[in-house]
Structure 1
Amino acid sequence: MGKTKKLIELDDKAIAILEVQAKLQKRSLKNYLEFMIEDRALHFAEPSEEYKAMMDDMLERQKNGTLETIPYSEIRKKYGF
């Protein structure tokens, strides 16, 4: 997959906020912006075929009554929440 350069303009307040967030994640501002934009773009992408197959399998097991689940209260007990 190729890369494309784009020029963006943000106000100074937004840049200051983003710089703080980038430092908290030990990233450069450029790297942080690229990461955030690519991560957000993936939210709009169609799920992979593997994910669709996994979800179809889980839905089928739920329909057949063979899907094993753990109640949230048990997870809280196990991990001390």
Structure 2
Amino acid sequence: MGKTKKLIELDNRAIEVLEKQAKLQKRSLKNYLEFLIENTALNFSEPSEEYKAMMDDLLERQKNGTLETIPIDEIRKKYGISRKTVD
């Protein structure tokens, strides 16, 4: 896949915050920005075939009454999450 260069302008405060985050991840600012933008773009893209197949299977099992679920309160209890933390 090809690459395209774009010039962007950000205010100084945004740059400071992004530089700190980049350092926390041991990345350069340029690399961190590319990472953020590419991940955001992937979130907008169509789900993978594997994901679609998994969801189709879950929906089919729900329709047939064979899907097993766990109540959210049990999950919260298992992981020590209080309702206040989540809600």
Structure 1 length as normaliser, TM-score? 0.86
Q: Which runs of 4+ in 1 moved over 4 A?
A: none
Which stretch of structure 1 is more off in the superposition, 6-15 or 36-45? 6-15
Q: Does 1:16 align with 2:29?
A: no
Report the alpha carbon displacement of residue 9 of structure 1 after superposing the two structures with TM. 2.1
* Count of residue pairs brought into register by the alignment: 81
CA distance in 2, matches of 1:11, 1:28: 18
Give the unaligned 5+ runs of structure 2. Answer: 82-87
- CA deviations on 1:17-43 (whole Å, 9 max, x unpaired) are 211221222222111101110011011
Report the alpha carbon displacement of residue 5 of structure 1 after superposing the two structures with TM. 2.5
CA distance in 1, matches of 2:9, 2:64: 53
**Residue identity in the other structure for 2:38:** E
Structure 2 length as normaliser, TM-score? 0.81
Q: State, as a whole percentage, how many aligned pairs show the same letter.
A: 83
1:1-81 paired onto structure 2 within 5 Å:
1-81=1-81
